[in-house]
Amino acid sequence: MNQLKPNDINVFDVVNYLICRLDTSLYGLTNYKMNQLLYYIQGHYIAKYDQPLFPEALEATIFGPIVPIVFGTFFEFALKFIPNDYFCQEARKQPLSDEAKTIIQKVIDEYARLGVYDLRVRIWQEYVVPFS
């Protein structure tokens, strides 16, 4: 299996791949939605491979999960679509594994059609606070 170690790529490699794979205006790819998709990508990758795809941490906010460095980079796109020709120079420009691409495509197929609000509600509904 051609599995990457978490430090082989960074979150911006995943972001660049997502931007290339999506029609950003058709799917309404804003900063918030990008971060929501990253949340699902990381979660599905960890669930399947028992390790993170990218090393950057996600943080919980009232607007949903974010990767702070991504949120800051795309701050100007809070309410407008990220252009399809946007390229993150911060990426390590490492190729993604086939396993990573498969997870990303499954997340796109399952979640990209949903709006930001619908994704946020879904994330809140999925979150379960453990009993103490």
Residue 129 has pLDDT above 80, yes or no: no
- The answer to the question of residue 110 being in a domain is yes
Number of structural domains, the chain? Answer: 1
Give the residue numbers spanning the domain of 109.
6-126
- The answer to the question of residue 108 being in a domain is yes
Q: Which of 115, 118, 119 is nearest to 27 (CA)?
A: 115
> In this predicted structure, what is the pLDDT of residue 4?
43
Q: Is 36 exposed, middle or buried (0-12, 13-18, 19+ CB in 10 A)?
A: buried
pLDDT in tens, 1-11: 445 454 588 99
- The answer to the question of residue 56 being in a domain is yes
Tokens of 83: 């252009």
Q: Which residue has the tokens 């995943």?
A: 14
Q: What pTM was computed for the model?
A: 0.84
Question: In the chain, which ranges are continuous DSSP H helix?
Answer: 11-21, 31-49, 68-73, 98-111, 116-126
58: confidence class by pLDDT, cuts 50, 70, 90: very high
- The answer to the question of residue 102 being in a domain is yes
- The answer to the question of residue 131 being in a domain is no
- The answer to the question of residue 1 being in a domain is no
> In this predicted structure, what is the pLDDT of residue 89?
67
CA gap 31, 66 in Å, rounded: 9
pLDDT in tens, 75-99: 999 889 999 888 776 667 778 899 9
> In this predicted structure, what is the pLDDT of residue 130?
53
Residue 72 has pLDDT above 80, yes or no: yes
What's the chain's average pLDDT?
Answer: 85
Tokens of 22: 């999506």
Residue 128 has pLDDT above 60, yes or no: no
- The answer to the question of residue 57 being in a domain is yes
- The answer to the question of residue 64 being in a domain is yes
